[in-house]
A and B are shown apart, each in its own frame.
Chain A
């Protein structure tokens, strides 16, 4: 098994944290090998932000550390969806935040749209946990990681005072799967 995951959006949307939680959940709390790279622009908010994660059963399978043909993608904003769609393979499962993503080009993807930011803002009280809603959706659909591994990763990575809210947002995202 080898899966390429790309997560992209704007600075401030918690893209890197989302990638980091996946990495920790896979490396530390599951039995996978993981490679993760990040890129972000100099601005603290509003610029491009991208995390690339490769998850595999063995270290040998990891190889090249950047995404070439993503199997799973999360786009938190429309600009980055357009910009990075070339890195997403046909047949990939693509998650997008329909709060900001209004148009998705036809690429033969399995599309999973939900308003992560709107849900975070209205149901959880802050748009800052939209990333965890998206993560819940991703985990619920792809079953790439166990709920337990992700929750442990959240506890490991997120600042203590934010852990409960992040876990709540993650579970809200998981619930999107049943819709």
Chain B
């Protein structure tokens, strides 16, 4: 364990290395580039490989290949780069390739303001690829949590054989904080399950009880099938409704049924809260400061802060919000996760507090907007 003063980007790079990252491919993009730069310096010292490729498409495809070669692999990008990656991400989903994508949100659409922050991409990250699937998305609010959730992202990805995203933003990327960087021996590290049957009996897409198939990689001595067409348990193309349904339902259910291993949240003063705030990422920092201020003024405010945006934790939210009179969803966009919160808390008054700020909505600005409802 060591203590450093670093940004969330560097904390993510450190978290990845602590998780056993062996391969990183990326293409520079503000505000994410320093992950690539830092890993280019540090990962080779630990025996890993870093490649800068010609674009984001090549980067994520190289990461998929590395994962099938048995390496824990990651790429990092921002909005425009993620837009290019979504096709290959869909390939990673159907082939059940464990990998981690770091997505540092910056103000768009298009090139927007590349150096500045937003929370516009909470739906794109989840639904950007084609197909019907689940995709875990973890959302840190500090540099320390960026480290911790990166470790978790690798574990989830390896455990469920699903691409997993760490969704940060430019504000966090540029904020320096104290981070406790743990060594691998001090962390719980999960590795993908390998087949236990003899090679002649191995079926590459036959799931275990957790709905996840054990994964043989190239060179393990097993028949390896990386099939992007709809496939049966043997990995053979099977264009039938029966196989399609079985495959789609399993891809979705392996995440949903194991969602207790993924979803997580923190609450602050919610047990006695009349007004409950829902906020995530950098914006939750402002809301937390505001909630403390409101408490000092005698207003019974509380904060529910998801650490995972997807799968959306309906149960956790319902439980925590059960006593709240009003729920404010504060985001650095025009109101996106609000739609999910309102859907889940149908019997509550849910108010969207969407504030556009190129850094992070300030506690004062949020207070100004919500004051008419207090």
Contact = CB atoms under 8 A, between A and B. Distances in A.
B289 A64 contact: yes
Contacts of B3: 27-28
A35 B174 CA distance: 10
Contact of A66 (B4, B177, B362): B362
B174 A37 contact: yes
Given A28-B3, A64-B286, A34 B178 contact: yes
Most buried by B among A20, A24, A27, A36: A27
Contact of A28 (B4, B289, B360, B362): B4
Contact of A36 (B176, B282, B363): B176
A37 B362 CA distance: 14
A63 interface: yes
B144 interface: yes
Interface residues of A, number: 20
Interface in B77-118: none
A20 B176 contact: yes
B285 interface: yes
Interface in A1-44: 20, 23-24, 26-28, 32-38
B175 A64 contact: no
A21 B163 CA distance: 38
Contacts, number: 66
Interface residues of B, number: 22
Given A28-B5, A65-B360, A37 B289 contact: no
Given A28-B5, A59-B142, A66 B359 contact: yes
Contacts of A62: 142, 177, 285
B286 A34 contact: no
A27 B285 CA distance: 19
B176 A68 contact: no
Interface string B103-136: 0000000000000000000000000000000000
B360 A36 contact: no
Nearest to B145: A59
Interface string B140-181: 001010000000000000000000000000010011111000
Contact of B178 (A20, A27, A64, A68): A27
A100 to B, nearest CB: 27
B196 to A, nearest CB: 42
A68 B174 contact: no
Given A24-B5, A66-B359, A38 B174 contact: yes
Contacts of B289: 63-64
Contacts of A66: 359-360, 362
A27 B292 CA distance: 24
A1 to B, nearest CB: 15
B19 to A, nearest CB: 22
A34 B177 contact: yes
B364 interface: yes
B288 interface: yes
A59 B359 CA distance: 21
A11 B5 CA distance: 22
Interface in B299-356: none
B144 A59 contact: yes
Contact of A65 (B144, B178, B282, B364): B282
Interface in A141-177: none
B178 A32 contact: yes
Nearest to B363: A64
Contacts of A26: 5, 178
Contact of B5 (A34, A38, A63, A65): A34
Most buried by A among B4, B5, B142, B363: B5
Interface of A: 20, 23-24, 26-28, 32-38, 59, 62-66, 68
Interface of B: 3-5, 142, 144, 171, 174-178, 282, 285-286, 288-289, 292, 359-360, 362-364
Given A20-B5, A23-B176, A65-B282, 4 more contacts: A20-B176, A63-B288, A64-B362, A65-B360
12 contacts: A20-B5, A23-B5, A28-B3, A32-B178, A34-B178, A37-B176, A59-B144, A63-B363, A64-B285, A65-B171, A65-B285, A68-B362
